[in-house]
Amino acid sequence: MKRWMTNTLIIIFAGIFLISGCYLIGYYVNAWKQQSAYEELAGIVEQARNEQTPDLPADGTPPDTGSFEDSSQSSQPTFLQVKNPKTGEMMDILAEYAPLYSINSDLAGWISIDGTVINYPVMHRPDELNYYLYRDFYKKYSNGGSLYIRETCDPHAPSDNVTIYGHNMKISKTMFHPLLSYTEKSFWQEHRYIRFDSLTEHHTYEIFAVFKTSANPGEGFPYHLFEYAKDEREFYEFVKTCKDLAFYDTGVTAAYGDKLITLSTCEYTLDNGRLVVVAKRIS
């Protein structure tokens, strides 16, 4: 009887181990495929940008593009006319994003942070809640989902604050996982700028606060609800709360009228925790 029980337990644990192993392998395969797909999209964007780059002088010396924060403004942007499938109207968008927009018109922009894997399209589907939470750029199921803008934000006008959500893919270290490194001031010092382009404009943002909070209803700071400032007081209250909660003082702040972006991902030291990075537009 005891031997039978022992053999049964061995079979059960072996089955659990096998299933767990298959799940882990499947996770890695899915993550690899997704990241590869996003790298292909990044390659399309980069190729389009290179085609717009002016030829080097005869001596091979690259043109002076200035500092990172204004490098995106160093040349006149090129636009292409594309048809908006939702309205049927023709619209001018930046040439590097036209090929991607023709594939998926939910594309709202592109975000990148130098020195990290963050180099992704940003989606926006205002009529469906969390549509891209578990869908990739091609609208197919994916554990990592896509980076996407909160439904009630306007990325085009834009809102005073645009909140962008992304998964913290701990195992593959992709999507918004690198944001967790911002808990260390030394990382912020080396990666303080975010490039976030809309479909029509290149923009650079400077991070001024990094904090964690709970997303449980009635707990923590509901940062995602701040979209449009009713007045200066509301704007400065938001900025002050962000800086009061911050892991460290960046010495950077925001002034009324600045346009902000808020990056949000899961954080596991708190119950239903969120790691939040807030930045202001500087160019």
- pLDDT, tens digit, for every residue of 37-91? 999 999 999 998 888 755 434 443 444 433 444 444 456 889 999 989 888 899 9
Q: Which two tokens stand for residue 127?
A: 């009529």
Tens-digit pLDDT profile for residues 246-269:
999 999 999 999 999 999 999 999
Q: What does the pLDDT read at residue 6?
A: 59
Q: What does the pLDDT read at residue 64?
A: 43
Q: What does the pLDDT read at residue 55?
A: 46
Q: What does the pLDDT read at residue 62?
A: 41
Q: Is 204 exposed, middle or buried (0-12, 13-18, 19+ CB in 10 A)?
A: buried
Q: What does the pLDDT read at residue 68?
A: 44
Domain ranges across the chain: 107-281
Question: What DSSP string describes 167-180?
Answer: -EETTTTEETGGGG
145 in Cβ contact with 242 (< 8 Å)? no
Q: What does the pLDDT read at residue 189?
A: 98
Q: Are strands 193-198 and 168-169 parallel, antiparallel or unpaired?
A: unpaired
Q: Which fold has domain 107-281?
A: Sortase; Chain: A; (2.40.260)
Q: What is the pTM of this model?
A: 0.85
Q: Which two tokens stand for residue 90?
A: 């023709």
Pairwise CA distance, residues 266 & 272, whole Å: 7
Among candidates 169, 192, 186, which has minimal Cα distance to 265?
Answer: 169
Question: Is-cis flag, bond preceding 54, omega within 30?
Answer: no
Q: What does the pLDDT read at residue 71?
A: 45
| Token pair 């809102």: residue | 159
Enumerate the H helices of the chain as residue ranges: 2-52, 68-71, 98-103, 185-190, 232-245
- Please tell me what DSSP assigns to residue 219: S
Q: What does the pLDDT read at residue 220?
A: 96
179 in Cβ contact with 265 (< 8 Å)? yes
**Which parts of the chain have pLDDT scores under 50?**
23, 55-73
Return the ∠ at Cα 248 (arms to 244 and 254), rounded to 5°: 60
| Token pair 């930045």: residue | 279
Pairwise CA distance, residues 184 & 163, whole Å: 22
Q: What does the pLDDT read at residue 140?
A: 95
